[in-house]
Structure 1
Amino acid sequence: MKPVIVVLGLLFTIVVNARYSEWEEVRPYCGARSRPQCCVNRNDECFMPYYDSRCYCDTFCFRGYDNHDCCPDHDAICEGIVPVPITQPPPPPVTRGTCIDYETQQEFQIGTSIKRDCNVCQCTTLGYQAQWSCEEDLCVNSPDLLQHIKQQQSYTGWDGTHYDRFNGIKVKDALKYYLGTLPDPSLRLMVEKAPDNPADYYQMDEKDAFDARTNEKYQNKIRGIRDQGKCGISWALSTVDVASDRLSLVGNIHWAREQLSVQNILSCTDAEAKNGCEGGRVAFAWGFIKDNGVVTDDCYPYESGRTGNIGDCNFRLNYEDLMSIQQHRKLTNLNCPSGSTNAQHFNFGPAYRIRNEPRSIKYEIYFRGPVQATMLVTPDFFLYKDGIYKCQNNYDRQNPRYANLNAYHSIRLLGWGISTDPRTQQQESYWIAANSWGEGWGKNGYFHIRFGDCQVEETVIATYGKSTEVLRKKHKRQKRSDQESNNI
């Protein structure tokens, strides 16, 4: 009988990979599947029953010693690997009924959960032994993604870093709650505003650089960087900040340095304009400030980034107020949610679209002020540090799980510049853009993005920047002119 026992022991060693415990039952799993016995990449249909769960026979199943769901005969059947004796000491023995976090050497009871970056791991049992069962979502601060960005830096021309604000944040959640612009085909139907002077329009080709923040005409009139927090509101925030910039540039009104209220738009727009903190539609934001106006931030402070919801509207206009806005009259005696008595209210002319080509956008920024743009964001953008950002990291070829992970984000374009492409050594132009993730991200809250990348030029919007006072004066002048014409 002893020779038979020895032979069975050798067969057991060949079939069962060293990553499995000694108690594992010897029987075929992948070897019992009909063709194909094994599958490439991740295939949720490539499994076999395994006790009260399942094990897999694809090339995606092994992700670490204590974090895999391969079948016991996976290596032998799928990869033709005959296990070799373990040369390294085995991991510390696990006490029955507990799990050990090998990073901290802490011991946890069954049912306890811990967090590893953005994924939750729970101590569960499999057979008689306790082990960790972990979520497998992609994390924003992925070491592998950052390493790829840095390896490609000499070719792409931009660098990345990890940010504490994204610790423990999943990519799928970041795309929902740190961006916030829903696709809106109606924006393409907006009226385009033509240049006032065609000669100035064509001269834009000769201007290689412009920055509204430092230009003498615009200096001290451009809004800084805000932080939207964990609420997808870029659709509304970029709208009010562009409106604020444009209003500052109207020279014949007295304009306080107070920001316009994004909370006013978030909470008081129609329900179809938004999807809570998961985004909204730019067209509704522009329509709201044209029809209803917007108060200053001291009247209706922003709190959605802290609370995680947009809340109910706490500032409502009555019929007389709406009539006053239509007649370009300024509202007074505002009933502010904050209780402020010094707040102001402004409304604007209609928004318009800028033709999606660099010359038109440059002309608009140079002569009329900053504009709103919508860009397509992929996971690497969250890690941007400096340089000229490009939508060409190709990381999804190495990790297919990153394929088709994207969402839209609205930003402000404040100018442009020119640099040298490190790959081609040719001159390349870039936009100077303001993000809304605070000054601790990117270049003090700003970033550069190459002309044409990430669909950044496809939907560019601006407003006339005329306040109630300016429109009222224009209305009076037009009325006086009409009366004089009638008297002739």
Structure 2
Amino acid sequence: MDDTSIMTRSLLVIILISLLLNIIDCRYSEWEEIKPYCAIRPNPQCCTSRDDDCFMPYYDSRCYCDSFCFRGIDNHDCCPDHDSVCEGKPAPPPPTPPPRPPEIRSCYDTVTGRNYPLGQSFLRDCNLCRCVTLGYQATLSCEEDLCVNSPDLLSHVNNQQPYLGWKATPYDKFNGVKVKDALKHYLGTIPDRSLRNMVDNAPDDPNDYFRMDEVHSFDARTHPNYAGKILGIRDQGKCGISWALSTVDVASDRLALVQNIQHRNEPLSVQNVLSCTDPEAKDNCDGGRVAYAWGFIKDRGVVTEDCYPYESGTLGNITECRFHLSDSELQNIAQHRKLTNIRCPSRSNGEHFNFGPAYRVRDEPLSIKYEIHFRGPVQATMRVTPEFFLYKSGVYRCGGSSYDRQNPRYANLAGYHSIRLLGWGTSIDPRTQQQENYWIAANSWGNGWGENGYFHIRFGECEIEETVIATYGKSTEVLKRKNKRQ
């Protein structure tokens, strides 16, 4: 064996012995602080000279209380309390604990620039923060939900101008509102793919249908045949009722066009539909299904807003129906007879209207353009992502800001919203400099949102053309005449 191998083995032995001594020393120190040994031996506690029976159990070995146990600082097997019990030497003082750091009793928030005392909660935009203790320190514990008026989301959209094609702005109504709550309380349509199985309505004149390809703009609000007959913007408040509100507003528009009513200011009652629809059709302010709203106004009709005013937008869920129909009245509705002497919840005079069945418009632009141009506004359901709440102007694209792709934890934040389509137009796509087509849509978040309550959305975006519904809007008298001819 060469000298190098011998030195290597010797070094390993020394290292192992050193580690073993450190372990023994650590065990000894812990044990020395907390356990008596010689002090609890039966008499005699200590023994003179060498006495192999003068021991106490020590872990899986022994320690001794005789005078022979100490044979040098590095060579002894004495019990930890041998010196104090058998030699009368004072016991070593217990180790001094490390000093406690000073307690911090408040939290500083860099966002608000304020100090908050321990235990206090506050809102940072839409997220709840609380000053809590962590060890001897105070720290802020905050929720991390995406807020509608998030400065990060807002700047992400507007920093992409002019190529994005639309601008964003914060709205006071969304201050302190989380996106997940806005999707629940400001939209409200539960997706229902069964609507795609509804019978669609073919154009009356195929030539008119194909001519729609040459009509590049149309706005029901200003068209001579429609002007003054189309409802303006309503505000659903903090209640997810777009499924019902868009239904009664499209029905109201169609009714005004059939009856040729100028300057129609009295809409149909959404509260009538919301509170009186079958319970399985809805979750009150948490959403409902479009098909049930159309089925309700076909089977039971609907009264005007002054007869049954809308209250859920401010009061929240109102489950009690305050407009009831007798069996004879339901029979009259089925026979398209107009109801008289109705009992309005508001105790004012109001009217009741019947409607025929709703139908689906084929999910392609020419059919939708034809329907709006010749028959009136339609209902459409769109997929909404967080940035839509901030729309101010321009032609909207669903998810066009790519915010969800850059922030994956927000990728699944989406909901469905039903609105009215009133027309269409063209503009120049800022990215391609090519002509693009857009729909003119009426939202239901009040006149202070978007372009006075309206918005433009590019053809084919956000599933906007997949579920388009309309009704003939025939009045009771028209339905009666049609029924007699049959």
Which TM-score band applies after superposition, normalised by the shorter structure? 0.7 to 0.9
Distance 1:437 1:253, change over 3 A: closer
Name the SS for the 1:227 alignment partner.
Answer: coil
Normalised by the size of structure 2, how large is the TM-score? 0.77
1:269 aligned residue: 277
Cα distance in 2 for residues equivalent to 1:416 and 1:255: 22
**Distance across 2 between alignment mates of 1:252 and 1:436:** 24
Which residue identity is paired with 2:268? L
Match runs of 1:294-373 below 5 Å: 294-340=302-348, 342-373=349-380
Q: Which residue of the other structure, out of 379, 382, 398, is the alignment partner of 2:386?
A: 379
- 1:473 is matched with 481
Partner of residue 145, structure 2: 137
> Which residue is equivalent to 1:149?
157
**Aligned-partner Cα distance in 2 for 1:109–1:422:** 51
Query: Which of 162, 176, 180 is the aligned partner of 2:170?
Result: 162
C-alpha distance 118-448 of structure 1, shift in aligned 2 (>3 A): same
Task: Report how far residue 223 of structure 1 moved.
Answer: 0.4
- Between the aligned partners of 1:111 and 1:386, the Cα distance in structure 2 is 43
| TM-superposed deviation, 1:131 | 2.0
Once residues 204 and 109 of structure 1 are traced to their aligned partners in structure 2, the CA distance between those partners, rounded to angstroms, is 66
Alignment of 1:12-411 (within 5 A): 96-102=104-110, 106-251=114-259, 257-340=265-348, 342-391=349-398, 392-411=400-419
Q: Deviations over 1:286-314 (max 9, x none)?
A: 00000000000011111111112142111
Q: Counterpart of 2:333 in structure 1: which amino acid?
A: I
| Matched-pair contact (CA < 8 Å) for 2:228–2:263 | no
Per-residue CA deviation, residues 208-227 of structure 1 (Å, 9 max, x unaligned), is 00000000000000000000
What SS does the corresponding residue of 1:447 show, helix, strand or coil? strand
- CA deviation digits over 1:379-414, x for unaligned, max 9? 010011000001222112221122121111000000
SS at match of 1:328: coil
Which one has a bigger Cα radius of gyration? 2
- Bigger Cα displacement from structure 2, 112-121 vs 246-255: 246-255
The answer to whether the 8 A contact 2:165-2:396 is kept is yes
Q: Deviations over 1:234-261 (max 9, x none)?
A: 0000000000000000146799631100
Q: In the TM superposition, what is the alpha-carbon distance from 1:146 to its structure 2 partner?
A: 1.0
Equivalent pair of 2:112/2:124 in contact (CA under 8 Å): no
Provide the rounded CA distance (Å) in 1 between the counterparts of 2:305 and 2:149. 33
**Are the aligned partners of 1:253 and 1:469 in contact in 2 as well (CA < 8 Å)?**
no
Distance 1:411 1:253, change over 3 A: closer
- The alpha carbon displacement at 1:102 in A equals 4.6
Q: Is the 2:230–2:256 Cα contact (8 Å) retained in structure 1?
A: yes
CA distance in 1, matches of 2:215, 2:262: 31
Which whole-Å CA distance do the structure 1 matches of 2:432 and 2:267 have between them?
Answer: 42
Q: How many residues align?
A: 385
Deviations 1:120-146 (A, max 9, x none): 111111112222211111111111111
How many percent identity over aligned positions?
Answer: 71
Shifted more, 329-338 versus 213-222: the winner is 329-338
Aligned with 1:176: secondary structure?
A: helix
Match of 1:430 in 2: 438
| Change beyond 3 A, Cα 1:237–1:350 | same
Letter in 2 for 1:327: Q
Moved more, 152-161 or 218-227: 152-161
- 2:157, 2:298 → 1: CA distance? 42
* Structure 1 CA distance for aligned equivalents of residues 260 and 129 of structure 2: 61
Give 1:94 deviation, angstroms. 9.9
Contact 2:275 2:284 in 1 (8 A): no
Q: Structure 1 residues 255, 345: CA separation in 2 closer, same or farther (over 3 Å shift)?
A: farther
Structure 1 residues 18-77: Cα deviation after superposition (integer angstroms, max 9, x where no partner): xxxxxxxxxxxxxxxxxxxxxxxxxxxxxxxxxxxxxxxxxxxxxxxxxxxxxxxxxxxx
Q: Which amino acid aligns with 1:429?
A: N
Query: Which is worse superposed, 441-450 or 303-312?
Result: 303-312
> 2 CA distance for matches of 1:271 and 1:181?
15
Aligned-partner residue type, residue 354 of structure 1: V
Change (3 A) 1:252 1:117: closer
RMSD of the TM alignment (CA)? 1.7
- Report the alpha carbon displacement of residue 105 of structure 1 after superposing the two structures with TM: 5.2
From the superposition, tell whether residues 255 and 333 of structure 1 become closer, same or farther in structure 2 (CA, over 3 Å).
Answer: farther
User: Partner amino acid for 1:442?
Assistant: G
Aligned 8 A contact 1:373 1:411 in 2: yes
Give yes or no for contact 2:166–2:394 (8 Å, CA) kept in 1. Answer: yes
Q: Could you tell me whether the CA contact under 8 Å between 2:200 and 2:360 is conserved in 1?
A: yes
- Counterpart Cα distance in 2 of 1:254 and 1:390: 34
1:74-122 CA distance string (max 9 Å, x none): xxxxxxxxxxxxxxxxxxx997323344555544332211101000111
Compute the displacement of 1:324 (Å): 0.8
Q: CA deviation at 1:424?
A: 0.6
Q: Which residue identity is paired with 1:150?
A: N
Deviations 1:155-195 (A, max 9, x none): 22111111111110001101111111001122011111000
Q: Which runs of 5+ in 1 are unaligned?
A: 1-92, 480-488
Separation of aligned partners in 2, 1:170 and 1:132? 19
Alpha-carbon spacing, 1:123–1:243, altered in 2? closer, same or farther (3 Å):
same
